[in-house]
Amino acid sequence: MAHYGVAVDVYFPDNQACSMVRVKRSSGHVVGDKVVIKDDVLTRLERSSELSRMDARGGIHIVGANLDVLCIVVSCEPLPPPGFIDRAIVAARAGNLRPVLIVNKSDLACFAGYHALVQKVYRESVKIFTLSAEDGTGLETLNTFFSEGHRGVFVGPTGVGKSSILNSLLPEINLTTGEISETKKRGRNTTTVSTLHLLRDGGELVDSPGFNDFGMVDISIQQLAAYFPGFEKAGQESCRFRDCKHREEPDCKVIELVEQEQIDRERYTIYLQMLSEVEGVEIQPKYRDRRHRRKKN
């Protein structure tokens, strides 16, 4: 349920209670892990899913395990960094999670314009929830969705209201929330530990610390080409080449749709930037191997 450095909180379904269990700092457990405990030793069971991200310094973080939904939480204040939503959607799809978007703070004046933009770009790609943790708008719809038995994690920049939404769904948990800074209009990294919560009518949700960098981990060119939000309308098998990168290949359906203005040119440019990034990552190890070999000889 939570990982506090040298201890983890474990939920025991049989007696519906939590207990703190000591672990090594580097035990590798993450929120959502299923474990068995025998003679005070915690053994992790195989994960059905795992979602990772890379931070700006190249550090890899596992966001959670055994999840089926990624809730990308955004707001008009603070705004997410450019590319955050796209990276999160691609990472979720590559990890077999269903990405959904939650646009929080519908009570703010800046909401309408931002919401319209999000709807325009992502409406045909993912389910979008409109919410206000402040006045309760949309909470019941979110609760109903999770009551179908989903287990999701909230990810998003600091200050968008992840913990506030969970507090509104489950007032008794009383997670700490933090004011947005007046000058920088950003959050204050209030949440520092991911915690899993059982929802009232079924389903589970993980609150996690806010972050800005959703660097893609182990995403292949083919995954990016298939999962980039907005390319769904091109269909999976409609390019001439099965491994089409949608850059300069002949009979590429994506390029055709860009030319017909059915895929926004700006969105396509963002895709090309992400493609170069993924190619950089894919090419790097080969160079490393070659250097390595030369050294040995």
Ligand X SMILES: Nc1nc2c(ncn2[C@@H]2O[C@H](COP(=O)(O)OP(=O)(O)OP(=O)(O)O)[C@@H](O)[C@H]2O)c(=O)[nH]1
Query: Where in 58-117 is the site for ligand X (CB under 6 A)?
Result: 104-105, 107-108
Taking the least distance from each CB to ligand X, the nearer of 211 and 268 is 211
Taking the C-alpha atoms of residue 79 and residue 177, their distance in angstroms, rounded to an integer, is 18
Stretch that binds ligand X, among 10-18, 173-181, 247-255, 275-283 (CB under 6 A): 173-181
Angle CA(127)–CA(132)–CA(133) in degrees, nearest 5?
A: 110
Contacts of 288 (CB under 8 A, 6+ apart): none
Could you say whether residue 164 binds Mg ion (CB under 5 A)? Answer: no
Longest pairwise C-alpha distance within the chain: 68
Q: Looking at 75, 132, 143, 191, which residue binds Mg ion (CB under 5 A)?
A: 191
Stretch that binds ligand X, among 42-50, 58-66, 183-191, 255-263 (CB under 6 A): 183-191
Instruction: For residue 86, give the 3-state DSSP assignment.
Output: helix
Could you say whether residue 133 binds ligand X (CB under 6 A)? Answer: yes
Structure tokens at 274: 């992400």
Give me the torsion for CA of 24, 33, 67, 159, rounded to 10°.
Answer: -40
143: partner contacted, choices ligand X, Mg ion, none (Cβ within 5-8 A by kind) = none
108: partner contacted, choices Mg ion, ligand X, none (Cβ within 5-8 A by kind) = ligand X
Size of the site for Mg ion (CB under 5 A): 4
Contact (CB, 8 A) for 258 and 230: no
Nearest-CB residue to ligand X? Answer: 210
Q: Which residue, among 167, 162, 168, 215, has the nearest Cα to 192 in the 3D structure?
A: 162
Q: Looking at 160, 199, 225, 234, which residue binds ligand X (CB under 6 A)?
A: 160
Least Cβ distance, residue 189 to ligand X (angstroms): 5
Binding site for Mg ion (CB under 5 A): 162-163, 190-191
